Amino acid sequence: MAQAAIELIGINKSFGAVRANRDINLEIARGTIHGIVGENGAGKSTLMSILYGFYQADSGEIRVGGQPASIKTPNDAIALGIGMVHQHFMLVDNFSVLENIILGAESDALLKRSIAKARSELERLEREYGLEVDPDAIIEELPVGLQQRVEILKALYRGAEILILDEPTGVLTPAEADHLFRILRQLKEQGKTVVLITHKLREIMAITDTVSVMRQGTMVATRETKKTTVEELAELMVGRRVLLRVEKGEADAGAVKLAVKNLTVKDTRGVTMVDDISFEIRAGEIVGIAGVAGNGQSELLEAISGIRHAVSGSVMLDGKPIDLTGAADPGELRDRGLAHVPEDRHHVGLVLAFEENENSILGYHDDPRYLKGPFLNIDAIRNDAKDKIAKYDVRPADCRLKTANFSGGNQQKIVLAREMEQDPGVLIVGQPTRGVDVGAIEFIHKRLIAMRDQGKAVLVVSVELDEIRSLSDRILVMFAGRIVGERGPEATEGELGLLMAGVEHQEAAQ
Amino acid sequence: MDVFNAIVQTLDSTIRLSVPLLLACLAGLYSERAGIFDIGLEGKMLVGAFAGAAAASVFHSAFLGLGMAILISVAFAMVHGFASITHRGNQIVSGVAINFVAAGSTIILGQAWFQQGGRTPALQPGERFEAITLPGADAIHDVPIIGPIYAELLSGHSILVYLAFLMVPFTWWVLFRTRFGLRLRAVGENPAAVDTAGISVAWLRYRALICTGVLTGIAGAYLSMVQNGGFVKDMTAGKGYIALAALIFAKWKPVNAMFACLLFGFLDAAAIRLQGSPLPIIGKVPVQFMQALPYILTVILLAGFIGKAIPPRAGGVPYVKER
């Protein structure tokens, strides 16, 4: 076995009563790609933040290259050759690539010399690792894939030998993710050590040499990637057997429930985001819309649910039109049987400062079930919330808890419970499992399929291809505001990925 | 020739009137570029004006007065920093509090120390900053056109006036050509990026506030030791707020800030000049209207004539390290 680049021995870290890391032991071999998987809140990010000097461990020892190391600030970590690519990029959006790269690592009090030095160093890094990027480009004008490359270059410029990547593929298209993996393999060939934090098991299998699994703050297992399987890792992560692809029967599609015709939507700047889109959803089927984030899916969802003004086109719900002027009454749409689980649960779906039971009736508060004369019937609301909590396994099971104190996955369950339990005819769901753990994903997928089997029409918009493929009876791919293809659930990932990247679309245009 | 002289004189007072605005505006530029909103420019100018005039009068030294103005103003800036950086308090509330404390304490201390109804004693020669005559100004004073422009407009100001205008290219150079400036701009846009790059967000923001304090101190000293021969209560009269408006108008850029402040200074000068004299077509305009003009224009300009002003993205948000 190669010499260890990093050894963590008996690391403990608590935040108040929460023990984020307990007695973690981990050894990462030099020149390998080491994956760390675990559900949200399993303590992966905390552990890496300790390694990067963002937090101090309560106890335990860190060794870098065999030597005991004291890492109190990110500066210490950088000096030891540890670089980190954060999940949310740590870039200054209106700075150039070069300015971002030298920030904090300037060679001189004057910028001119620092920039000149960085420019030549950047050329060398580009040659060595194939990391091409225009040094004078402004960050906010670059696609996310390139922004991430700047983050990697930033770490390499600081002389990183060990590169930690936190959920690096969350924002990337499949093609960009593949490119990232090529870069990581190249870094490995050059002798760098890569630590990859993710909850996507497929990526772990594709690229890592070794994988460690965390669960509830503890390190439960370390495996050689070649000798493990996705099923085993999922079981280790969740602590029980998990169905990665929910079983479902053939769809029994009935009458058209929702018909979208020639819908065009512009954003506030007047840019066309949804461009002349038409499709139908029938009772008893799930239609999935795949696409890279920002290709008009959000605007499409908002227009259908009556939140956003549509320039032209029509949307028919059970044969009757929906008001598309942006002034539709959401309450009326709910009465007509249209339920909407918004993409952004924090800003649109929930009031985080409310108690759970208040959120669980939000928008349905005029329902006589929850009223006693002109007043809210608090007992009825709380009992109703308790029922939903039990049925959807929301944790902690406390309907009086402030919603902000639930984890992302449980918040999502609160929204889903609210919308699904109204027994709508049409359910529109944006990003059903964004930020949700493997175990909860399985549950949410099962519920959505149960809705379908009860004869509801379900529209799912997701940037997760696996999710779209596993749920949908029909898959529509959106690119640049248009539907560029329709495929069945058997479509391969590569095929959909090309459509999502607009490849066929562009070829057809030429 | 009368018209020409009138124009030169108006422009001359434009320069004099825009100096405190310019210094305060650049002061605000340092803190806001670093992500700290500073509505307390007004208060810091006021304590600077008071401390400067009081110290100059007691120690009979203009430079000691300036030094004290800067010191006290920086101290107030540090209070703002302590509240809004160290304790992550609301920056607007902290700034407003500083304005109130400044307005009250200057009057109370002034009355307690000098017993002149909140005023400081009138400054004697040597306790004020005197006008500097540039070389050759007297010699070419009578040359047509160039003479008055050089002798009246450019020459004959106090050293603080020249300092204020020199601060414009200097601030630009600091912001865009030095490591400190790069980090300062970065911390106002994305403090997390600065933190993960191994730089202390708090220390960087404190340093930006020191720059702010120094400049508001000079602005205050200018008011009480150059424009006026002593401190008068509430003598800043909203200049700190006008400077903030100018800062937004200038889109947080130093050279723009200079032009914005000159514009506001010019309006002020024109208002004074035109008081009581009838305008063509319109006739006689009430004094009050002329006095209100700069403020009316501020509202109009800010309401829509400047296009989209994008403030530093992290402005007003205390930095909390979170993962």
CATH number at residue A87: 3.40.50.300
Q: A313 CB near a chain B CB, below 8 Å?
A: no
Instruction: Give residue A171's pLDDT.
Output: 72
CB of B177 within 8 Å of a chain A CB? The answer is yes
Confidence of residue A474 (pLDDT cuts 50, 70, 90): very high
B179 touching chain A per CB within 8 A:
yes
The CATH number linked to B280 is 1.10.3470
What does B162-220 look like in DSSP terms, one character per residue? HHHHHHHHHHHHHHHHBHHHHHHHHHHH-HHHHHHTT--HHHHHHHHHHHHHHHHHHHH
> Do both A262 and A341 map to the same domain?
yes
Interval A190-199: pLDDT, tens: 999 999 998 7
- CA A146 vs CA A143, A176, A190: distances in Å: 6, 9, 21
- The reply to whether A376 falls in a domain is no
CB contact under 8 A, A73 and B198: yes
> Is residue A17 within 8 Å of A3, Cβ to Cβ?
no
Q: What are phi and psi of B243, to 5 degrees?
A: -65, -40
Q: Which residues of chain B have pLDDT under 50?
A: 323
Q: Which residues of chain B does A49 touch, with a Cβ-Cβ cutoff of 8 Å?
A: 323
Report the relative pairing of strands A426-430 and A338-341 from DSSP bridges.
parallel
Q: Is the pLDDT of residue A319 over 80?
A: yes
| Residues in chain B within 8 Å Cβ distance of A100 | 193
A84 contacts chain B (CB < 8 A): yes
Mark which of A207, A238, A269 sits at the end of a domain: A238
- At B306 the pLDDT is 66
- Measured CA to CA, the distance from residue B302 to residue A257 in angstroms comes to 50
Is B319 part of any domain? no
Same domain, A293 and A433: yes
User: What pLDDT is stored for residue A15 in this prediction?
Assistant: 82
Asked if B189 and A75 come within 8 Å (Cβ–Cβ), the reply is no
ipTM of predicted complex: 0.88
- Of the listed ranges A95-109, A270-284, A343-357, B64-78, the least confidently predicted one is A343-357
Asked if residue B124 belongs to a domain, the reply is yes
Domain span at A129: 4-238
Indicate the residue among A180, A205, A238 that finishes a domain: A238
d(CA A85, CA A151): 6
Query: Is A351's pLDDT higher than 70?
Result: yes
DSSP B86: I
How high is the mean pLDDT of chain A? Answer: 88
Q: Which helix (H) or strand (E) holds A12?
A: strand A4-15
CB neighbourhood size of A309 (10 A): 16
pLDDT for res A144: 84
Nearest to A203 by CA among A184, A222, A227: A184
pLDDT at position A151: 94
Report yes or no: B313 at the A interface, CB cutoff 8 Å: yes
Please name which of A257, A173, A250, A243 lies closest in space to residue A428, comparing C-alpha atoms.
A257
Q: For position A274, what pLDDT does the model report?
A: 92
Check residue A2 and give its pLDDT.
Answer: 55
Q: How many domains does chain A contain in total?
A: 2
Q: Which residue has the tokens 């609160």?
A: A414
In chain B, what is the straight-line distance between the N-terminal and C-terminal CA atoms, in Å?
Answer: 69
Helices marked H in A395-502: 408-420, 438-453, 465-471, 493-500
pLDDT in tens, A21-56: 999 999 999 999 999 998 777 888 889 999 999 889
- Residue B317 inside a domain? The answer is no
Q: Which residues of A touch B183 (CB under 8 A)?
A: 103-104
Please provide the average confidence, as pLDDT, over all residues in chain B: 90
- What order of strands is seen across the sheet that includes strand A67-69? A18-29, A4-15, A59-64, A67-69
pLDDT tier at A1, thresholds 50, 70, 90: very low
Q: A-chain residues within 8 Å CB-CB of B323? A: 45-46, 49, 54-55
Structural domains in chain B (count): 1
% of chain A exceeding 90 in pLDDT: 52
pLDDT tens for each residue of B84-118? 999 999 999 999 999 999 999 999 999 999 999 88
Q: In this structure, are A105 and A150 located in the same domain?
A: yes
Which chain A positions have a beta carbon within 8 Å of B190's beta carbon?
90-93
Cβ-nearest to B179 among A84, A90, A109:
A109
- Let me know if A21 is exposed, middle or buried by CB neighbors in 10 A (0-12, 13-18, 19+): buried
Q: Name the band, by pLDDT with cuts 50, 70 and 90, for residue A504.
A: low
Q: Could you tell me the end-to-end alpha-carbon distance of chain A, in angstroms, rounded to an integer?
A: 53
Is the pLDDT at A269 greater than 80? The verdict is: no
pLDDT of residue B323: 44
